[in-house]
């Protein structure tokens, strides 16, 4: 069985470091990109088991990345956890329609997030 590989796409250094530390502490390999423009090329050339995706990335926004990943057969089922500070119900619904999990940054408990990641990777 291959070791799961997590990609964090987050431009905010504090949150990026926090996510990286918690996921690493769970024993999962992590790679980080800070620009939306880097997400699709990274996924095209590296095995990724789960994507933690900020919606407000420079270079290419998270919704565009999410739509692009869902339009490709090789990434249509890639588990994606979306992070945003936007709590608009329409955005929550749009994310759900694209088969991604939605997390509001201000309310996300990192231990719960890691547990969700581990549970997702088991299934």
Question: What is the residue-level pLDDT of the chain in tens, covering all 123 positions?
Answer: 467 799 999 999 999 999 999 999 999 999 999 999 999 999 999 999 999 999 999 999 999 999 999 999 999 999 999 988 888 889 889 999 999 987 767 667 888 989 999 999 998
Write down the pLDDT at residue 106.
Answer: 65
Q: Whole-model pTM?
A: 0.92
Range(s) of the domain holding residue 49: 6-117
Closest CA to 82 of 103, 59, 106: 103
Write down the pLDDT at residue 81.
Answer: 95
| CB contact at 8 A, 23 and 117 | yes
Write down the pLDDT at residue 110.
Answer: 87
Distance CA 16, CA 37 (A): 17
Task: State how far the alpha carbon of 41 is from the alpha carbons of 44, 65, 71, in Å.
Answer: 5, 11, 15
Residue 106 main-chain phi, psi, to 5 deg: -65, -20
In a domain, 123, yes or no: no
In a domain, 80, yes or no: yes
CATH number at residue 29: 3.40.50.2300
Q: Considering its fold, how many domains does the chain have in total?
A: 1
In a domain, 84, yes or no: yes
Residue 57 main-chain phi, psi, to 5 deg: -95, 145
In a domain, 109, yes or no: yes
Contacts of 1 (CB under 8 A, 6+ apart): none
């Amino acid at each position: 069985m291959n070791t799961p590989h997590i990609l964090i796409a987050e431009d905010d250094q504090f949150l990026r470091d926090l996510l990286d530390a918690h996921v690493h502490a769970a024993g999962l390999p992590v790679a980080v990109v800070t620009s939306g423009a880097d997400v699709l090329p990274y996924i095209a050339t590296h095995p990724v088991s789960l994507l933690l995706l900020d919606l407000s990335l420079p270079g290419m926004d998270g919704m565009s990345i999410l739509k692009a990943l869902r339009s490709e057969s090789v990434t249509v089922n890639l588990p994606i956890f979306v992070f945003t500070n936007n709590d608009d119900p329409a955005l929550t619904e749009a994310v759900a329609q694209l088969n991604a999990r939605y997390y509001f940054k201000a309310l996300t408990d990192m231990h719960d997030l890691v547990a969700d990641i581990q549970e997702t990777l088991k299934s």
